[in-house]
Amino acid sequence: LSTVAFAAAAQEFPSKPITFVVPFAAGGPTDTVARQLAETMRKHLNNATIVVENAAGAGGTIGANKVARAAPDGHTLLVWHIGMAAAPALYRKMPYKPLEDFEYLGIINDVPMTLVGKPQLPSNTYRDFENYIRANQGKLNLGHAGLGSASHLCGLMWQYAVKLDKSMATIAYRGTAPAMNDLIGGTIDVMCDQTTNTTQQIEGGRIKAFAVTTAKPLSDHPILRHYPSLQEMGLKDFNLTIWHGMYAPKGTPTPVLNRLNEALRASLRDPDFVQKQKALGAIVAAPNDKRVTPEGHKAFVASEMAKIKAVVDAAGQYAD
């Protein structure tokens, strides 16, 4: 494409509805971020129509692959998270190359996680909860959104940190929205899920919460401040936050990528989006966060990939 054609491409962009592909079931934490972002970001793209399409399966890698193979015209984008860095450590065969098959548009936010349990669990404090799990090894199950999902990674890290003799039985779902239904119903016992999906359930008393996965407690959040961090509970160095980012297929024209990055960065500064995310415990990336640039985002994911590989290699026995 010549420069003139490129410039024209950017001018008329978007020329049709934009699709945000969410690689998990509707209603879960990733879907929540994507829908809230779409509502704001469209204002910075001439009020374009943005549709959210849920393409679940295989811990998010099916949806990611769908975008990797999509037409590189900027109208099909991926909204995903730490799974972009975690999946390669857990899948022997990957359908795409994370660092080569995508254009990195920028980081969206950082979302803390909560260790939560079914309402029937007899424990009410983290200490009781950990003792109960230890005393009932082999009898309790953990729900997650598939190998390489944030909920799977957190479950693996937590079991490794508390050194369970036997790894918990796990049940994989197409997202933590369906998993949450089963936690509320008592079919599954435990889950580690993002505050974007647990805050309202905790507030409504439909699930029990025991701890947050961030290094420090979330003391400025009206609901989540009541729970200790796992580090405070003795799991030293435990510190997990789920970042979300946006991706386009490799080969999307640069002027279109720049236009999308601008619209993303404008959305991150939008008080309405920031507030909605904050209410769910999520921290929108600050304007000066270098991860909101394509280069910074890609470098960050590459560094996360190495970190997570080391964690999974050490905690492999819990990665069933």
Residues in touch with ligand MLT (CB under 6 A) = 24-25, 28-30, 83, 145, 149-151, 175-177
Measured between alpha carbons, how far is 170 from 141 in angstroms, rounded to an integer?
5
What's the min distance (Å) between Cβ of 261 and ligand MLT?
23
- Is the Cβ of residue 149 or residue 201 nearer to ligand MLT in the bound state? 149
- In the block, tokens 């270098």 appear at 290
What's the min distance (Å) between Cβ of 107 and ligand MLT?
15
- Is the Cβ of residue 113 or residue 223 nearer to ligand MLT in the bound state? 113
- Is the Cβ of residue 81 or residue 221 nearer to ligand MLT in the bound state? 81
What's the min distance (Å) between Cβ of 135 and ligand MLT?
27
- Is the Cβ of residue 13 or residue 24 nearer to ligand MLT in the bound state? 24
- Is the Cβ of residue 9 or residue 21 nearer to ligand MLT in the bound state? 21
Nearest to 80 by CA among 194, 225, 229, 236: 194
What's the min distance (Å) between Cβ of 28 and ligand MLT?
2
Which ranges in the chain belong to alpha helices (H)?
3-12, 29-41, 61-68, 83-90, 126-135, 150-161, 176-185, 195-203, 254-268, 271-279, 294-314
The dihedral over CA atoms of 102, 291, 29, 270, expressed in degrees to the nearest 10, equals: -110
50-54 and 18-22 strand pairing: parallel
What's the min distance (Å) between Cβ of 300 and ligand MLT?
18
Measured between alpha carbons, how far is 158 from 115 in angstroms, rounded to an integer?
9
Q: Would you say 150 and 83 are in contact if contact means Cβ atoms under 8 Å apart?
A: yes
